[in-house]
Each structure stands twice: as C-alpha cells, then as structure tokens.
Chain A
Amino acid sequence: MAKQAKPRMALRDTVGDKVFYTINAIVLGILALIVLYPLYFIVIAAISDPDAVLGGKVFLYPVNLNFEGFAKIMERKDVWLGYRNTILYTALTVVLSLIVTVPAGWALSRNTLPGKRLLMIYFIIPMFFGGGLIPFYNVMSGLGLVNTIWAIVLPSILSVWNLFMTKTFFESSIPTSLIEAAKIDGAGSFRIFIEIVLPLSKAIIAVMALYYAVGQWNSYFNAMIFLQNENLYPLQLVLKEILIASESTVGGSGETILQQYRLANQLKYVSVIVSSVPVLLLYPFVQKYFAQGVMIGSLKG
C-alpha cells in the first residue's frame, strides 16, 4: 500500500478514490436490492404454494411451484371488468389530455402571444391554491358528472405541471428560425404546429402520454367518491377490495384468520402482478424519450 502511494500520477485514481468508488457502488447496490427485493418477493410468493408463503418458508426462491392464483384470478369477473374499464378510462384520458396539453403548451411557448403573463398566472395559481375536496365534489355533482365515466376522465385530462413541462420543451427544442422560415413561406399557425412542430415533438408527446396514462391507471380516489355503479369500477377500486378491505377488518379467532389468509393471500400476490405489469412494461418502452423530453422540461421548470 505504501509503495503504491509514492508514484502519484495525475488523472489516475488514488487509493482513496478507489475506496470511494467501491463504497459508492456497494451502497447503491444495496439500495437496488432494497428496491428490487419486495418486487421479487411478490413474484415468488405468487407462484409458490400458499401454505409455504404463510408458513414463512419462502424467502429467496419459489417453493412448490403453484399457479392456482393465476387460475383463480381468471375467474374473477370483477377484476376483468375493472381491467376493461381502466383501459377505456386510460385511453380516453391519454387522447384528450394530449389534445388539451400539447397545443396549449405550444401556444404558451410563443413569446409573441399577447397576455402570456396573465395566462401563466392563471395556470400557476391552482398549483398552490385550490378549493379543496368538497367544493370539487360539488362542482362535479353540479356538472352532472357523478356516477359517469366522465367524472373519472375529465378532471384528469390536464395537469398544470405537465403543461409547463410541455411548454419548456417547446421553448428549448424547437428552433425559432424554423418557425420564422415557415411563416415567411406563408404557412399558417395551425399548419406550422401540425406539420412542423408535432413531428419534432415525439419525445414530449411520448412522455406526456406515459404520465397521463400512469396517473389514470393508478388512481382510485375519484372513482371511489364519484362512482356508485360497480360496473364502472376501475381496476384499482376492485384491487382495493381484494388487497386492503379484508385486511383492515381482521377479526375472529386466530384459526379463521389463518384460513382467510390462505384463501385470499395468493390471490393478493397475483393481483399485484396482474395489475402492475402493463405499467411496468410501458416504462422502459418510453424511457428512451426520457433523457430528451423530461430532463429538459424539468430542468427549467
């Protein structure tokens, strides 16, 4: 060790640096395990014998492979109805949100827009102050949206954060000269937007679609307060019944609890997987746009 320290070359890692890199990598590795292990455990618990899971025999690998949970969930009509509803709500939300967010972001990124400052203030205020839950509920009820799918879709089609991220993307990624040139060629504002701006904006459109889709896919609260018709329930509300409702009503003797657990437990692990897979699959797919789109947007926003 002492020998190594003597011939010090510039731009070479010193011993201290090597130690630093090693510790750094180890700590981050442990952090990755902390993130991954619960997810991994869900998977192995879902395909293990439920008794082995409850008996504490499953820790690192599946025990007595068992796919009954997946068979059981296929029979759950409510899950698949919820799935269908969620797909419908998510698709509607994504389409409408892009129609609302992207053009508005483009318009707000134009410096020549008269009243831009006022418009910005108009959008910023709700980020910091809102009417709260009850007035929101009353507005929805006044609009006649309660117990319709629009109570789920419409309030989710604009997030001001996303709008500002889109605006910042346009400000930093679309060259002004390009727009000026198109103007001189006689192209109108709509044509410029559709034929020049949109094709250059795949990154932000992909990222926005992901954000809105994940937001809608994962939300349960609006559905819980606005929907009474169970046929309209989205997946998350059905999941809430499966995953949580039964846990908070623990009662009876130890034996019955164990029996309930055995029946419901595997279904819970399976339902976590079945509901989360679509979103987790979507993420790497869109990730290549992240570097471009989100980074720029969030940096300045």
Chain B
Amino acid sequence: MEAANPAKRAVKERAPRVKKKRTKEQRILSLKENAPYFLMVLPAVAVVFLFNYLPIYGVLIAFQDFMPGDKILSDSTIWIGFQNFERFFSDPMFWPLMKNTFLICIIGFIIGFPLPIIVSLMLNAMKGKKTAKVLQTIFNGPHFISLVVLVGMLTLFFGRYGLVNNLAASLGGERYSYFLESSAFRPMYILSSNWQDFGWSAIIYIAALSNVDPQQHEAAILDGATRFQRVINVDLPAIMPMISVMLIMSIGGLMGVGYEKALLMQTDGNLQVSELISTYVYKRGLTGVPDQAYATAIGLFNSIINVVLLIIANTTSKRFSENSLW
C-alpha cells in the first residue's frame, strides 16, 4: 500500500514531462506491468516504515507531557510546546554534553578523515600489487571485531596490569588505571576507532584510485614527474570528488556520535568527559526513572543539529565546487 500511493502520484506528476499525453488506460497498464516491482520493493518499504518512520512520528512526545504507555495522539494528550527543550538548555549537563560530544567528534574527524585517504594513496602507490592486496586485507581485519570485544581489548591492554602498564613498568614508568582517568578517555576512544576502521574507510578511495586512467600517469612520467609528484598531481585530484562527498557527510556527523561504544567505555572515573548527548538520552530515557519526553527532546535537538550541519556543508560545497550530495 505504501508503495502504490506515492507511485500513482509520481506518474501523475511525471506524465507531462515524459510523454505529452498518457491516457488513463496507459497509466493503468504501466502500473500493472510494474506491479511485480512494487511487490519486490514492498517488504523494504514496510520495514523502513515500521522502524524508521514510526519512530519519527513518535518524536511528537518531545512536545508533550508524556508518560510511558500514553498514546501519542489522543484527547487527553497534554501539549507543552518547547518546555522540554528549554529544560535541556538550562540543564547543568547541557554545556558539558555539547562540549564532550563536539570534542570527540571534531578530534576524531581531524585524525580519522585524512588517515584513510593517505593510506589509500600509499597503498595505490606501492610497487608490488600483491603486497598491497595483502596489506589491505590486514587493514580491513579489525573492522570485523565487535565493539564489545574492542572495548574488552582496550580494558585488557590499558588495565592496571595490562600490556601498556606492564610495558611502562618495565621501562620504569608508573602504572595508571587508564579507564578511571578522564584524560585518557578521548585518546583511547579515538585511536581505537581509527585502528578499527581506517582500512575499511580507505576502500572507497582505493576503488576510486583503481579507475585512474594509466595514460595520465604515463604522460606525467614523460614530463619527468616523480612518483610522489604523481601521487599529488594525478592520484589525489582523481579522488577529490569522493573526498568532497565524504567531507560533507563527515561534517553532517560532527555532533552525531553514537552511544554504543561510549557506553561500554564509561566508568565513574571518566564520566565527566565520556557522557555524550547520545548516552545521556539513553540514560534519561531508558534507565532509572525514565523521562521519555525529555530524552526524546534532547535526541531531537541533536538530530536537528546534524541535519542543519549537513545542509550547511552541502550548500557550501555546492557553491565552491561542483560536488554535492544533492
């Protein structure tokens, strides 16, 4: 059902553009012909409707005095406007949350954005193509490790009697409980994320590099360009459009760090820097005495920031280059 309605409307809108006039019979025929395709896409439409669109509708509770179990729209719904948002702005956690979320994203971006690009250029510039393949396989490996295991590994390595402290101790250093030190949280979080995903993120750049016309390289060689100059003047420009697209997406995610990993890494010792907007939403909305409307409002506020950032990034990119998402 979801598929058929927009489809019908689209036909109406499109008809004048494609052909001057389409009779009613033709339109019905086209729908009939395409019925199997609608059936094929229907399950996907239904899944997205249930798990993505219904929650978007559920966001309305952010503007209500909502108790768990209440209906979202009923006669007894109490609308309170933006009160939950105002409450959040005056919440003593507001600035720490904004700061923690932004810092972990921006530092992660500064390190994590260029790294895959550099690695893909280096792999592409390798002499031995087989070695490059093997290295790429190695670099992709950590992507398949789960977050629970990754954070488990961190606790093993950075625990008081873990590898890092043992190494430090054998060199005459002091032992630290890194998980209880707030200053260690961001470095551990960001470096482990990069360790896990730099290879995986490089894949799309490597794919783009494999499409570079070899003639460009040959011409550059005849002009006397060194391999390094060719990396900068041939390879890098070739992946520039891809870099722009990824840049826009990354800027859109500058306040969008999820809760999964941070929740696993949180301890009483590092909570002052490890509490993020997303983890706070989880805690206020689903644990303790849940305040669902408040948590939803905070989450909505966060989503809106992300969308606005994305639109700004896209518009800017459109103005200064030809690359944009839409």
Q: Interface segment, A62-70, A87-95, A122-130, A174-182?
A: A122-130
Judged by a CB distance under 8 angstroms, whether A217 is at the interface is yes
Hey, which chain A residues are within 8 Å of B228, CB to CB?
16-17, 20
Contact A261 B58 (CB under 8 A): no
Hey, which chain A residues are within 8 Å of B56, CB to CB?
126, 129-131, 135
For residue A285, give the distance in angstroms from its CB to the closest CB of chain B. Answer: 12
Kindly state the separation between the CA atoms of A76 and B143 in the bound complex, as whole angstroms. 27
- Say yes or no: A20-B138 contact (C-beta < 8 A), given A115-B11, A116-B10, A250-B177: no
Hey, which chain B residues are within 8 Å of A27, CB to CB?
122
Q: Interface segment, B86-94, B97-105, B150-158?
A: B150-158
Judged by a CB distance under 8 angstroms, whether A279 is at the interface is yes
Contact B59 A131 (CB under 8 A): yes
Judged by a CB distance under 8 angstroms, whether B166 is at the interface is yes
Contact A20 B227 (CB under 8 A): yes
User: Of B7, B48, B268, which contacts A158 at CB under 8 A?
Assistant: B48
Hey, which chain A residues are within 8 Å of B117, CB to CB?
none
Chain B 273-326 interface residues, beta-carbon cutoff 8 Å to A: 278, 281-282, 285-286, 292, 295-296, 299-300, 302-303, 306-307, 310
Judged by a CB distance under 8 angstroms, whether B80 is at the interface is no
Judged by a CB distance under 8 angstroms, whether A169 is at the interface is no
- Say yes or no: A218-B295 contact (C-beta < 8 A), given A20-B228, A118-B6, A131-B58: no
Kindly state the separation between the CA atoms of A154 and B123 in the bound complex, as whole angstroms. 39
Contact A239 B149 (CB under 8 A): yes
Contact B122 A114 (CB under 8 A): no
- Say yes or no: A132-B59 contact (C-beta < 8 A), given A243-B149, A244-B155, A298-B207: yes
User: What count of chain B residues pass the 8 Å CB interface test?
Assistant: 107
Contact A41 B286 (CB under 8 A): no
Chain A 186-221 interface residues, beta-carbon cutoff 8 Å to B: 188-190, 193, 214, 217-221
**A216-254 near B? 1/0 per residue, CB < 8 Å:** 011111000100000000001001101110011010000
User: Of A134, A257, A258, which contacts B299 at CB under 8 A?
Assistant: A134
Judged by a CB distance under 8 angstroms, whether B77 is at the interface is no
**A251-270 near B? 1/0 per residue, CB < 8 Å:** 00000011001000100110
Judged by a CB distance under 8 angstroms, whether B38 is at the interface is yes
For residue B137, give the distance in angstroms from its CB to the closest CB of chain A. Answer: 7
- Say yes or no: A243-B37 contact (C-beta < 8 A), given A28-B126, A28-B135, A134-B299: no
Contact B10 A117 (CB under 8 A): yes
Judged by a CB distance under 8 angstroms, whether A272 is at the interface is yes
Closest A residue to B118 using CB positions: A27
Contact A244 B148 (CB under 8 A): yes
Judged by a CB distance under 8 angstroms, whether B40 is at the interface is yes
Tell me the dominant secondary structure on chain A's binding face: helix
Chain B 118-151 interface residues, beta-carbon cutoff 8 Å to A: 119, 122-123, 125-127, 131, 135, 137-142, 144-149, 151
Contact B221 A10 (CB under 8 A): yes
Contact A131 B57 (CB under 8 A): yes
Judged by a CB distance under 8 angstroms, whether B63 is at the interface is no
- Say yes or no: A133-B160 contact (C-beta < 8 A), given A35-B195, A221-B260: no
Hey, which chain B residues are within 8 Å of A108, CB to CB?
41
Contact B51 A139 (CB under 8 A): yes
Judged by a CB distance under 8 angstroms, whether B184 is at the interface is no
Contact B295 A115 (CB under 8 A): no
Contact B180 A279 (CB under 8 A): no
- Say yes or no: A126-B48 contact (C-beta < 8 A), given A17-B226, A240-B264, A272-B149: yes
Chain A 68-126 interface residues, beta-carbon cutoff 8 Å to B: 99-101, 103-104, 106-108, 110, 112-119, 122-123, 125-126
Hey, which chain B residues are within 8 Å of A242, CB to CB?
152
Contact A35 B10 (CB under 8 A): no
Closest A residue to B119 using CB positions: A31
- Say yes or no: A130-B151 contact (C-beta < 8 A), given A34-B195, A118-B6: no
User: Of B40, B50, B54, B259, which contacts A107 at CB under 8 A?
Assistant: B40
Interface, chain A (partner B; CB < 8 A): 10-11, 13-14, 16-17, 20-21, 24-25, 27-28, 31-32, 34-36, 38-39, 41-42, 45, 54-56, 59, 99-101, 103-104, 106-108, 110, 112-119, 122-123, 125-126, 128-139, 143, 154-155, 157-158, 160, 163, 188-190, 193, 214, 217-221, 225, 236, 239-240, 242-244, 247-248, 250, 257-258, 261, 265, 268-269, 271-272, 275-276, 279-280, 282-284, 287, 294-295, 298-299
3 shortest A-B CB distances, which residue pairs? A131-B55, A135-B58, A243-B152
A-B contact pairs, 16 of them (CB 8 A): A10-B222, A16-B228, A123-B44, A128-B310, A132-B59, A134-B58, A135-B296, A138-B292, A221-B260, A236-B146, A258-B161, A268-B152, A275-B146, A275-B149, A283-B141, A299-B207
